[in-house]
Chains A and B, each alone.
Chain A
Amino acid sequence: MEWIVWFDQLGKEQVSLVGGKNASLGELMRAGIPVPPGFALTTHAYRRFLQEAGIEEKIRDLLNRMDPEAPASIEEASQKIRGLMERASISMEVEDDIGEAYRRLSRMCQVPALPVAVRSSATAEDLSEASFAGQQDTFLWIRGMDELLSHIKRCWSSLFSARAIGYRARMGFPHEGISISVGIQKMVNSWNAGVMFTLDPATGDPSRIVIDANWGFGESVVSGECTPDQFVVDKVTMQIVARTISRKHCYFTTDPETQSVLKVPIPEERQENQCMLDEDVVNLARIGRAVEAHYGRPMDIEWAIDKDLMAPGNVLILQSRPETVWSQRKTGPLLGKKSGFDLLMERAMKPFRVQD
C-alpha cells in the first residue's frame, strides 16, 4: 500500500487517493509552476489508521446514537469521535514512512525539524471543499515528528467536525466510506514575497506582468503596510521594462517559536535598495506566465522566494486566483473590424496632442 506520495508525483487522476488540494498542487508542478515542496499522506494511510486503531465500530455507534436534528447532539458526537481519533496511535509502518518522508524534506531544505504546514485535503468530489476544510484544518509552523503526527491526526479527525457531520446529515451523505488525505508542505521562509498580476492592473494590458515585492513575508505588500518595489515585465520579451524602487520602511517575518508575525523596521540606508534580484524578477515572471497558461486566464498570484531553497527552485507560488477587475469588465473590441488601410487613414487624419 502507498502511504506517501510526493507532490511532484501527483496529478488530477489521483484525487481519490490524495484529495483535491494535494492533487492540484501536483498539477501545478507538472505545469512547471513551483510550489513549496512536500508530500501527501494518502487516504490509504487514513483507512489503515482507522483499522489498526480499532475505532471504526465505536465511531459508527456514536454516529448512530446521535440526533442529527440536534446541534448539541452533533457537537457531542463530534467531540467524542475526534477525541477517540486523536488519542489513537498511528500504525508503525505508516509512522515510519511519514518519519522518513519528513526527514527527507528537512534534509532537502537543509533545516533540521523543518517547520511545515499540515493540511487536510478532502476527496469527496461531489462535496464542496468548504464543507470539509476550514481554517481549523490547516496547521502552520509544525515542527518535529511528535507535533507532526498529532496534527495529522487532527486533520483526519476534521472529517468529524460538527460542521462536517451536520453537513453530511443534512445532505443525506453517508458517513461511512468517506476518506481524507493530508498534505505536509514546507513552511515558506521568505526572503522576498509579494503579489503578481499577469496583466497590468492599471491599464488591463495583457502583455505585461506586474510584480509588487518587499523583503520578508507577503503580508507587508498585501496589507498595504509598506509601499513595495514594483517591477513590470514584458510577457513576450521577458525583459524588465519598468521598475519603481520605493522607500520600504519595514518588512514582516514570523517567529517560528511563537508563530506570531513580527514587523521589522528596515534601516534608513537600506530602505531604497531594490529588494529583489533582477534574475528572480524574470524567473518569477516566467512562472507567472505558466500560471496564466495553466488556468487559461489572467491571474492574481501570491508568491515568495524561499531562503532555504536553491535558485532557481526557490521562487514559489503560494496562491493564485483569477484576476477579477479587468476580466469582469465587459470589454468590446478595442479596434473592431478594421483593415490596415482603415487604421492608416485613421492615423493620418488624427494629429498628436502636444499640449494638454
Chain B
Amino acid sequence: MTRKGFPRPSEMEYPPELQGWEEMYPPYYLFSPERAQWEDRQFWYHDKIHAPDPMYPWDLIFHEAWQISLSQYNTRVFCIPPAQGVAQRMVGCYMFICAVEPPPPELIQKKAELFQKRVFYVFEHFDELYEEWLKKFRALGNSVEELVIPKELPGFEPDGVVFPAPRGYFTSFEIMDAYDRLVNSVIKGWQYHFEYLNLSYLGYLMFADTCRKLFPGISESTIGKLVAGAVVTMYRPEEELCKLARLASTMPSVKKVLGSEDPPAAKIQALSQSMEGREWLRHLEEVKRPWFYASCGSGWFHYEGSWINRMEVPFGYLKSYVERLDKGERIERYLEDIEKERERMAQEYRNLISNEDDRKAFEDAYRTCRTIYRYAEDHLFWVEHWFHTIVFEKMWDLAALLKRYHMLEDSDDLFLFNRFEVPMILEDMVTAYALGEGVPARASFWKEKASKRRAILKAARNWSPPPALGTVPEEIAEPFTVMLWGVTSEKVDEWLKAGTISPEEVTEVKGFASSAGMVEGKARVIKLLEEITSLEPGEILVCPTTNPSWAPVFTKIKAVVTDIGGLTSHAAIVCREYGLPAVTGVGIATGVIRTGDLIRVNGDKGVVSLLERA
C-alpha cells in the first residue's frame, strides 16, 4: 500500500542538454524497459551522502565495487535475515540507490540460521579477525603501490629486458596489465571494506535500539558519544603532525623554516641544508607512509587530492601547530579526558536503570556493540584514505602518460571515461606505439568524447533530479539504509516536499543531530580544503565533509554543517569533543547555503535554518 508518490523510474525524462549521458556509465546502471516492472516496484533515492554531484564516470568504480560488496554480505555471506542488497542506478549523471525489497519469507528463516552461526562467531573473535583483516588489507594496498606505470613509451625496449633471455612481455602489456590489476585491486579492496562494516552498523543499531527502549528521549549524538572510541586510526595523521610539530619546536632552525610562508618544496629544500633540518626530514619521511595518505576530502573523488600530493596542507597545519606550541598551547586531543567522559556517561546511564535484568541487558548490549564498532571507525582511514590515495596516484600516472602521447587534452579528462573504457584508450595508445613510427591512434575521437562529456556534466550540475523515484516501501531492514542514509518516514516526507521548491526558497535543511547545542552565525561555505584560508574566526563552517586534514580549523569556528557523514563522522566526533554544535550528512548544505548567509545550527535536532540570505 503506497500513500506517498514519486515518479516511476520508467517514466523519467531528461532535459535535452543531457543528451548522451547514458553512454558514460555501464549499461546495467540505466533503468531499462525489460526490468521496468521490478525497478518501478523499488524505492530509489539520490545518494547525496556519497555522490552529491554528477558522477565522473571513472570515480563510479568505488560505487560499482560497494554495490556488489555491501550487498553480498547482507545476502550471501553474513545473511542479515530480512535484508537484501543496495542497488544503484544512474539518473542523468546522479547516482540513485535503493534497498532492495525483502527476500521471500521462506528464505528469511534459512538466513537467520546462517546469521546466528556466522555473525556470533565474528563478534566472539573480532580482535583476532581484525588483526588478520588489517594485515591482508595493507598487503593489498602495498601491492597496488608496487604497480609500475611507465613514465614514457621507450623508443626501443632496453637491453635489460632482452638479455640474458627476453622477458617475453614489454611496455605495451605492462601498461594494460597494471591498469587491470589496479581495477581488480579496487574491487577487491572494497570486498574487504565491508567485511565487518555491515555488522558494525548492525551492532550500533542494536545498541541504539536498546538505549531508546530504556531512555526514549536519548539523543543520537549521545548514543554516538557512548559508542565512539577516542583512539581511532583516522586521527593518526593529525597525531603524527602534532609529533612533528613538537619535534620542530625543539629545533630552532626547523621552527623558523616551518613558520615561513614559503611553498612546501622550498621549505624542504631549506631544511635539507642543516643537520637539524635533515634530522627532522628523516622523521617526516618515516611517517609519510602511510599517515600522509589522508585525503583532503572524502576520498571518493579524483579531484580532492591527498596530503602526499598536496603537501601545502600538512605544512600549513605544521605552521599553525608550531605557532600554537610557541604560545604554550596544547595541540593534542585530550584522549584520557574523552575516554573518562565516555566511561562516566555509560556508568550514569547504567545507574539510571532501575530494573536489574534491564541493567544487565544494557551492559551486554553496550559491550557487544563496542567489541566491533572500532571497525566502523578504523577501516575509514585504511580504505577511503590510504588505499584510495594509492589508487588515484596510479591513475594520475596513467593520465600523465596518456596526455604525454596526446590521447587526452588534460590529465583529468581520464576520469571522464568509465573503468571499462579506459583500457580501450590505453590499448589504442599502445597499439599505435607497437605498430611503429608515424602510426595514428584515435586521439581526436577520445578528446571529442571527453569534451562532450565535460559539457554534459556541466549541464547535469545545473539540473536537479527528483529526490526519489519508485514505490516507498512500508519497511526497510537494510542496516546502511537506516543508519547511514537515514531513510525514515520523515526523510521521505521531506523528499516529497523538496521536489516542489527551488534552492533559493529553502529555509531549512536537515541532517544528523551529531553534536548538541545551538548557535547562529555567518556561514562560510568551503568546498575544497584550499579555500580554508578564507575562513574567519567565529564563522560556521559549511563543507562537503571534514577529516583530520581539517582538524586545526575546529578551534576557529562556531559550528559545522556537512553534506557527507553520520553520527560518527569526523566532524561529529571532533565537534562533540570541542563542544561545537554540528549537523552532518545534510546532503545539500553546500548547494543551498551561501557564504555570508546568517544561519542557525541546531545540533540537538539536526536542523539548519537559513535566517537571512547574504
Measured CB to CB, the residues of A under 8 A from B are 200, 203-208, 232, 234-237, 239-243, 331-341, 343-356
> Is B120 in contact with A341, judged by CB distance below 8 angstroms?
yes
Would you give the shortest CB distance from A302 to chain B, in whole angstroms? 22
Measured CB to CB, the residues of B under 8 A from A are 1-4, 80-83, 102, 108, 112, 115-116, 119-120, 123, 202-203, 205-206, 209-210, 213-219, 222, 225, 345, 348-349, 352-355, 357-358, 360-362, 364-369, 472-477, 482, 487-489, 492, 516-517, 604-605
Q: Within 8 Å CB of A340, what residues of B?
A: 123, 206, 361, 364-369
Would you list the 9 A-B pairs with minimal beta carbon distance, nearest first?
A340-B368, A351-B477, A351-B475, A347-B206, A340-B364, A335-B361, A203-B216, A207-B215, A205-B217
> Is A336 in contact with B365, judged by CB distance below 8 angstroms?
no
> Is A207 in contact with B81, judged by CB distance below 8 angstroms?
no
Partner of A333, one of B219, B355, B365: B355
Would you give the shortest CB distance from A323 to chain B, in whole angstroms? 13
Q: A240-B604, A332-B355, A343-B368 are in contact. List 8 more A-B contacts (CB 8 A).
A: A207-B218, A208-B217, A239-B604, A335-B358, A343-B206, A343-B209, A353-B475, A355-B473
> Is A354 in contact with B474, judged by CB distance below 8 angstroms?
yes
A212–B477 Cα gap in the complex (Å)? 38
Would you give the shortest CB distance from B611 to chain A, in whole angstroms? 15
> Is A354 in contact with B489, judged by CB distance below 8 angstroms?
yes
> Is B474 in contact with A352, judged by CB distance below 8 angstroms?
no
Partner of A345, one of B115, B205, B215: B115
Q: Within 8 Å CB of B2, what residues of A?
A: 355
Q: Within 8 Å CB of A336, what residues of B?
A: 357-358, 361
Partner of A355, one of B210, B361, B489: B489
> Is A334 in contact with B474, judged by CB distance below 8 angstroms?
no
Q: Within 8 Å CB of B123, what residues of A?
A: 340-341, 344
Partner of B477, one of A344, A352, A356: A352
Partner of B217, one of A203, A331, A343: A203
From known contacts A335-B361, A341-B368, A354-B487, infer whether A349 and B213 are also in contact, taking CB-CB under 8 Å. no
Q: What is the chain B residue whose CB lies nearest that of A327?
A: B354
Q: Within 8 Å CB of A341, what residues of B?
A: 120, 123, 368
> Is A345 in contact with B116, judged by CB distance below 8 angstroms?
yes
Would you give the shortest CB distance from A191 to chain B, in whole angstroms? 22
> Is B361 in contact with A339, judged by CB distance below 8 angstroms?
yes
From known contacts A236-B349, A345-B115, infer whether A335 and B476 are also in contact, taking CB-CB under 8 Å. no
> Is B222 in contact with A234, judged by CB distance below 8 angstroms?
yes
Would you give the shortest CB distance from B302 to chain A, in whole angstroms? 34
A and B contact pairs by CB, cutoff 8 A, 24 listed:
A200-B217, A207-B215, A207-B217, A208-B215, A236-B345, A242-B605, A243-B604, A334-B358, A335-B213, A336-B358, A337-B361, A339-B364, A343-B365, A344-B206, A347-B206, A348-B80, A348-B112, A348-B202, A351-B475, A351-B477, A352-B477, A352-B482, A355-B4, A355-B489
> Is B367 in contact with A335, judged by CB distance below 8 angstroms?
no
From known contacts A206-B354, A208-B217, A335-B213, infer whether A351 and B517 are also in contact, taking CB-CB under 8 Å. no
